[in-house]
Structure 1
Amino acid sequence: MNCCPIMIAEKMVRRNISSVPKAVLKPDQHVIENINKNIFTIRNHPGSMKPRSVLIPEPFIKAVVNATADYPVKALLETSEKLNRHLKGRVPPMEKEELKETVEKVQQKVLSRYANVTINNDQDESRFRQMIHNKTQNILREKVYNWRPIKFDVYNSLVYLLGRSAPEYAVLAKIFGEIKSRDIDFIPRSLFDFGSGVGTATWAAHRYWKQNIYEYFNVDISRDINDLAQTLLQGGTPKGNKPKGVFYRQFLPATKVTYDIVISAYSMMELPSLQARLETVVNLWNKTGKYLVIVEQGTNAGFKIVNEIRDFILQVKHEQNLGTVFSPCPHDDTCPRFLLDDGTPCNFEVTYFTLPLGGSSVAKKELYSYVILKKGKSNNTNPDQKWPRIIRPTLVRHKHCVCRMCTANGKLEEVIFTASKHGKAMYQCARSSKCGDLIPATIEESKSQNVQSDENGQILDDK
């Protein structure tokens, strides 16, 4: 969830005695023993999600330089900044019934203001109707988001490349890295990318499974962006060697072929309705062999779409299409963050480095919401499947740290870690963990305790 600067739980730690949830936490003894034996370090414990920051591969950078050689890079960069701002503020289109209801409410509100207007003839009535229409439209422009599909021609495809390829590659590299580290037996042979854009999913998959994946099937409605994606794989020149096993289409295929890993990254927001999104998800889920990855902007709108898809798939009861959440949730229950409805999305953060075009590469942060859905029944054979996930930045204080986590019982819990209470290894694990990491432990129940703490989260002595 939101890993940006903390505006969170400082509200919960006032200078008084308050009832704070006390989670009964049991460290994973196997992990603790391995830490004590120096099999792995504290910072690289099994729940630590790597990489923290992502560098764009050099072949991709060279391909981008070649692909943009004949275009005004400065103008492309300026336009890409505008596109980034637009995408971060983007919300899905309002549903027809909701829009109709909103229009009627606004119209009635406007009419109520002019209930005492006298209409003497047809001309007055025509002017009155036009005035009501104009005022209604003015209000609707402020209240209703003017959603329009984005057309990616040759120029806009290059704009998208410069503005979005680096953060999207970083996000997918981190997500694929989690799958790679937590499911070491998973060796994908095929990948399907819906809304493939400039091909960042293919490049991110190359990072981990280049020697294993023999088929990359990419679908994007824009022919120009498909051509650009293929050009990038050819080194940025149309005459480069065409990669084997990489295919591009403009529409979802009707075949029943399945793929080991299916991705939809930053694409669901571009569909015109809830019905279109769910129909697409059904199609993608039917094509999923093992993992379906859904990624959107880490905004309230992006989180809502991700959660919508998560709940939809988990409601499937057909024996052959059952699914479970692999990440980020350690449970298949309703999202507690969504139930809280406090306007805070469930999102995570990755550091990426911008493309070094028109200047030096700089580090930036990208917030994203995601879910990885796994095909089949939940067997919970991996111990980390029940480990709680940190969903806020860890608050590191003097001799203790505070972790806010989503747990296997479908709840949000806050745990204050100390060396004396949880052991040195467990405390150091928690202290070094970041938002998005798993804590190698299980939480079995919650009680209440009285804890006295100040506004900085410092525990006060009971005196």
Structure 2
Amino acid sequence: MITSRHSKEIIKLPNLIRYFSSKLKPNVKLDEEISTNIENAVIKPRNHPGRVKPRVVTLPDNVLKAMVNVAEDHSVKALIENGHAFERHLSCRLAPTEQGELKNIKRALLQEVLTAETKSNRKNDDEERFQQVVKDKLQKKLRRVVYNWTAVNYNGYNSLLYLFARFAPDYAALVRIFSEINTRDVSFQPKSLFDFGSGTGTATWAANLYWKKSVFEYFNVDSSRDMNDLAQLLLQGGRGTKSVNLKGTFYRQFLPANNVAYDLVVCAYTLLELPSLRSRLQTILNLWNKTASYLVIVEHGTNAGFKVVNEVRDFILNIKDETNIGHVFSPCPHDMICPRFLTDNTPCNFEVSFMSLPFSGPSSLKTERYSYVILKKGKRNGNDPQWPRIVRPPLLKSRHAICRMCTAVGKLEEVIFTASKYGKAAYRCARSSEWGDRLPVEIESDTCSKHDQDDNNS
């Protein structure tokens, strides 16, 4: 006779079978061309084409000299010290609360305050005093609950603070991003660059590292006139100098109304400075309409930064106009909903190392975490291998490497690479790869369950 306890165990058995079957190791195969090249000693595993370089970004010497020149009468040491607080403020910024959401919050808090005050002995106060108490307590609660977003005033001094606090990390992130475009799409030789929210001109400097000979127009838009003046002055090398030819470089305060398309369009560290979701989406659509090839969007690698990057990514991918569609070039190997956004509370971000400014002491190694997406015009090329992207630092153990990756089927997979399971070449490629690299393998398993995703995100 089967007891009730045994019957419960039998009922649970199918769930256990499904759970453990989902834990079967995925079918991972090293890309055939890469495998052949490694076998024939054409490339080494540590130099496989999925690796993103440079690993450490340094500022050009002429930028460092120009920064000292543009500081003029200001103390460089003071600018760096005050810039630290300014940078902390910028990195903690959130998107503004939407009006509809704010109304709902106010309504809920008002009801909470009214209930509390009515139950207290204040209910016997006169009506005018009662309303004032409710208003004061409501405002106090709103200040604690609602993020007080205000636009940053980039006057002359704040622009200098931004230059000394953010030029190096902004430049490093863009150098890393442009490097991937340059490496994976060798035929791309942009003739024009449009930088929205251009700030101190980091996109121009980073683009010159790869396409200086091909770009003949740099169109920079920033709402701050002081920031535009500073960027132009920096490009000149400082006051009284003209170390860089400014021909073809333009600065404006507003988006142009024309329909001119630019080969490379950049919007870096700007979306959180826009006052609403509507303005962000309108701006991105405008930029997408001005994009001939690539649109690059970058934000801080915080939850807030990742959220706005993901929101505009989905917005562009949902455009139904066949003449204006696009796909994700990087970092996602797919155009589906971000699996990390669906299943996790941590942002999809990446890290780049750079050398700090050498003005207040020896230059040291720093890191910048950023979230980004590169959108490319047109449909995805059928020859795109869609290698999985490593989305967290690999865990290197004795004789095995654990890689957590975002795959072409829009899922998070964790693969334990060993030489015995997947071959020596695949294991060495995995072991030499880092956070942000693409791993040149094909993952044929489609069994990644919610349990897998939860484990991967832990």
TM-score, normalization: structure 1?
A: 0.90
Q: Distance in 2 between the 1:206 and 1:410 partners?
A: 34
**Separation in 2 of the partners of 1:308 and 1:329?**
14
Looking at structure 2, the residues matched to 74 and 55 of structure 1 have their Cα atoms a distance apart, in angstroms, of 20
1:399-451 per-position Cα deviation (integer Å, ceiling 9, x unaligned): 111111000001001111111121111100000100110110111123489xx
CA contact (8 A) 2:55 2:353 kept: yes
Q: 1:196 aligns with which of 177, 187, 198?
A: 198
Q: Deviations over 1:203-257 (max 9, x none)?
A: 0001111111110000000011100101111012254265111100000000100
> CA shift at 1:353, angstroms?
1.1
Number of equivalences: 430
> 1:136 maps to which residue?
138
2:89 to 60, 74, 86: 86
Partner of 1:434: 434
Structure 2 counterpart of 1:193, one-letter code = D
- Please point out which of 59, 64, 88 is paired with 1:61: 64
| Match in the other structure for 1:425 | 425
* Residue number in structure 2 paired with 1:390: 390
* Matches of 2:162 and 2:448, distance apart in 1: 50
- 2:334 paired residue among 307, 331, 341: 331
SS of residue matched to 1:285: helix
Distance 1:132 1:431 in 2: 61
Q: Please, which runs of 5 or more residues in structure 2 have no aligned partner?
A: 1-19, 450-458
User: Does the Cα contact within 8 Å between 2:412 and 2:448 map onto a contact in 1?
Assistant: no
In structure 2, C-alpha distance between the alignment counterparts of 1:288 and 1:120, rounded to whole Å? 61
Displacement, 1:116? 3.1
- The aligned counterpart of 2:108 is 105
- Cα distance, 1:423–1:114 mapped onto 2, change above 3 Å: same
Task: Measure the CA separation in 2 of the matches of 1:240 and 1:158.
Answer: 20
In structure 2, C-alpha distance between the alignment counterparts of 1:176 and 1:299, rounded to whole Å: 21
Name the SS of the counterpart of 2:445 in structure 1: strand
Q: 1:214 aligns with which of 213, 216, 220?
A: 216
In the TM superposition, residue 43 of structure 1 has moved relative to its aligned partner by 1.6
What are the within-5 Å matches in structure 2 for residues 281-360 of structure 1? 281-340=284-343, 342-360=344-362
Aligned counterpart, 2:189: 187
Q: Distance in 2 between matches of 1:190 and 1:29?
A: 37
AA in 2 matched with 1:254: A
Contact in 1 for aligned 2:68/2:76 (Cα 8 Å): no
The structure whose residues are more often helix, as a share, is 2
CA distance in 1, matches of 2:427, 2:123: 80
Counterpart position of 1:173? 175
Change in Cα spacing, 1:158 to 1:107, as seen in structure 2 (3 Å) is: same
Question: So what's the TM-score if we normalise by structure 2?
Answer: 0.91
Residue 399 (1) aligns with residue 399 (2): yes
SS at match of 1:30: helix
- One of 42, 45, 51 as aligned partner of 1:42: 45
Deviation string for 1:314-371 (max 9, x for gaps)?
000112100100000000000000111x310000000011111122211111000000
| Equivalent residue, structure 2, for 1:9 | none
Q: Distance in 2 between matches of 1:282 and 1:331?
A: 21
Greater relative contact order, per chain length (Cα 8 Å cut-off, separation 6+): 1
Query: For 1:155, which of 157, 179, 191 is the aligned residue?
Result: 157
Query: Following TM superposition, by how much is the alpha carbon of 1:382 offset from its aligned partner in structure 2, in angstroms?
Result: 2.9
User: Cα offset for 1:311?
Assistant: 0.2
Q: Structure 1 stretch 188-197 or stretch 350-359: which is displaced more?
A: 350-359
- 2:256 pairs with 1:253: yes
Matched-pair identity in %? 57
Cα pair distance change 1:68/1:119, threshold 3 Å: closer
- 2:320 and 2:339 mapped to 1: Cα distance? 22
Q: Deviations over 1:80-119 (max 9, x none)?
A: 1011111111101000010111011111111111223567
Match of 1:224 among 223, 226, 235: 226
Q: SS in structure 1 opposite 2:37?
A: helix
Q: Tell me what 1:411 maps to.
A: 411
How far did 1:294 drift?
Answer: 0.4
> What is the match of residue 375 of structure 1?
377
Is contact 1:231–1:238 with CA below 8 Å preserved after alignment?
A: no
In 2, are the aligned partners of 1:22 and 1:446 still within 8 Å (CA)? no
Cα-to-partner distance string for 1:178-203 (whole Å, 9 max, x where unaligned): 00001111111110000000000000
Over 4 Å off, 4+ runs: 117-121
The one-letter amino acid paired with 2:363 is S
AA of the residue aligned to 1:82: A
Q: 1:263 & 1:308 partners in 2: Cα distance?
A: 17
1:259-270 correspondence to structure 2 within 5 Å: 259-270=262-273
RMSD between superposed Cα atoms in Å: 1.8
Decide whether aligned partners of structure 1 residues 21 and 81 sit closer, same or farther in structure 2, where only a CA change above 3 A counts. farther
Question: Structure 1: which 5+ residue stretches go unaligned?
Answer: 1-16, 450-463
Question: SS at 1:442's partner residue?
Answer: strand
